[in-house]
Structure 1
């Protein structure tokens, strides 16, 4: 992985996306910190860096399309799509709705999804893998050949084991401890 770009993105995540306070995660678990990757992914340089680095994981996984549950997967999927274009790679992107749309084509999986292609579920931050596995179920219902899971930030709270049980190869750019350590090493001026 490109070390200079990785270091720069880590610093951005620590500065823009890391918060210490008591809250409840989407998994239902309580936590004393939160990594809100969208705050970095919606900055031009953050989107560029995340796209390039996650694209390396997409290539290593040998998948042809990526997507995950809306809304967490949207900015990282979009960043990877832009990176794939810049690098001349043919990778498709899509997203999974929490429930089937009641109008239009009434689809649960939207975007450039194509049945049968090697697929990775993707998200910005993954804790237990619960919402990603819900997305995997939806992808498989419509013919997705889901073989991998990819995260920008892995929290280390059960996803590794959950994806292993589901038969998915799991990779990530950062673990949450790296982001926490970077923030501790460079606290924000108050």
Structure 2
């Protein structure tokens, strides 16, 4: 197995073992599910952050964007991991964090970080269900002057997010689907 494939496979193993939880959950989309993917249990670990950064950076392809951004809080470790991996690779990307709403004090920003008008920005997320969170993040980046180059997620729950993102006109990619983590979405969604 090539080192690149080994990193992706190790990340998949970590997500499957640590992030997939079974129970009764309400998702940010408002949907109910009897499984939840808590990627932060992986993306906030040293090994998981390293693997997330490496795998996601490669997925962004060539040419790379100028920056990566994501909706706080779930995307924060993904964005940070990719920014660090990009620096290590000699192709540093700016990291941006998108708040759910603009601050009411200080600078009043919704997008935090060194965003400049016209910067090409990839939106990152840990999981996508309906696509609502990543589309709100993309809209905030556009309103702040960025140019959204596409949307990437670690795990696609296969619940319509890809369709919504495509309908909004964005390129979309995922590293894994929920099926890659051993969960059949049609059997586990309620």
Aligned Cα root-mean-square deviation (Å): 1.4
- Other structure's SS at 2:69 match: strand
Q: Is the 8 A contact 1:18 1:180 kept in 2?
A: no
CA distance in 1, matches of 2:156, 2:62: 17
CA distance in 2, matches of 1:55, 1:10: 16
Give the total of aligned pairs.
181
Q: For residue 164 of structure 1, what is the aligned residue in structure 2?
A: 166
Deviation track 1:32-66 (CA, whole Å, cap 9, x = no partner) reads: 11110000011100000000000012234642211
Q: Is the 8 A contact 1:61 1:148 kept in 2?
A: no
Task: Kindly indicate whether residue 116 of structure 2 is the aligned counterpart of residue 98 of structure 1.
Answer: no
Q: Is the 8 A contact 1:147 1:167 kept in 2?
A: no
Task: Kindly indicate whether residue 159 of structure 2 is the aligned counterpart of residue 153 of structure 1.
Answer: no
Q: For residue 114 of structure 2, what is the aligned residue in structure 1?
A: 112
Q: For residue 186 of structure 2, what is the aligned residue in structure 1?
A: none
- Other structure's SS at 2:35 match: strand
Q: For residue 63 of structure 1, what is the aligned residue in structure 2?
A: 65
- Other structure's SS at 1:23 match: strand
- Other structure's SS at 2:10 match: helix
- Other structure's SS at 1:2 match: helix
Gaps of 5+ in 2: 184-190
- Other structure's SS at 2:108 match: coil
**CA shift in 2, pair 1:124/1:60, >3 Å:** farther
- Other structure's SS at 1:122 match: strand
